[in-house]
């Protein structure tokens, strides 16, 4: 019980020193003091009384270092976020680009509709939307769900075929009317 009272007294005194000297937020100072006191209780051997430094002075210095580190890391984080925001453009694309992308996508869909069956198109829509369930893709492809292993094999085969078709479509000349 005496240790707890001693730590509470030290905590208030050290927090006062830290807040006065570093002009920091009360929460930051308190967190640093608690961290330092727990570290001291966990490893009291780190404090060397032979160095003629009082315990309260030793703990206050350690708390001040913690506060400085925390403040520096906050500044560094803010700079990283600011730099990231300046690199990543959050602007809307130009209307011309939106129109060009729409036209390209429409052409690609037209070419796909000419080459693929309705079941393939339905499966492709599911794949592109992120669907990964074998059962759902098997239903879209009209496969027999009697054998789980056979269904998995067939879905994989169809999926690979559809992805290869998309790959070939991407390599074709977009100006070719084929």
What phi and psi values does residue 172 have, to the nearest 5 degrees?
Answer: -70, 155
Q: What does the pLDDT read at residue 104?
A: 79
> What contacts 24+ positions apart, CB below 8 Å, involve 158-166?
158/120, 158/123, 159/123, 159/127, 162/116, 162/120, 162/123, 162/124, 162/127, 163/127, 165/112, 165/115, 165/116, 166/124
Two tokens at 98?
Answer: 């939106």
Q: What does the pLDDT read at residue 173?
A: 59
Q: pLDDT grade, residue 3 (50/70/90)?
A: low
Is pLDDT of 6 > 70? no
> What contacts 24+ positions apart, CB below 8 Å, involve 98-105?
104/174
Per-residue pLDDT tens digits for 95-138: 777 778 777 777 877 887 888 888 888 888 888 788 778 888 88
- For residues 120 and 107, is the Cβ–Cβ distance under 8 A? no
Per-residue pLDDT tens digits for 39-65: 888 888 888 888 888 888 888 899 999
């Amino acid at each position: 019980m005496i240790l707890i009272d001693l730590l509470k007294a030290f905590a208030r005194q050290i927090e006062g020193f830290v807040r006065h000297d570093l002009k920091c937020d009360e929460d930051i100072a308190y967190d640093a003091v608690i961290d330092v006191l727990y570290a001291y209780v966990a490893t009291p051997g780190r404090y060397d009384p032979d160095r003629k430094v009082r315990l309260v002075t030793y703990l206050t210095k350690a708390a001040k270092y913690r506060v400085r580190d925390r403040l520096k890391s906050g500044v560094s984080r803010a700079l990283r976020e600011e730099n990231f925001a300046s690199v990543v453009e959050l602007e809307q694309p130009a209307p011309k680009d939106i129109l060009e992308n729409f036209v390209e996508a429409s052409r690609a869909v037209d070419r796909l509709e000419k080459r693929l069956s309705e079941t393939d198109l339905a499966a492709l829509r599911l794949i592109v939307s992120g669907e990964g369930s074998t059962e759902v893709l098997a239903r879209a492809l009209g496969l027999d769900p009697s054998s789980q292993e056979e269904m998995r094999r067939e879905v994989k085969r169809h999926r690979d075929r559809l992805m290869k078709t998309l790959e070939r479509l991407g390599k074709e000349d977009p100006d070719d009317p084929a």
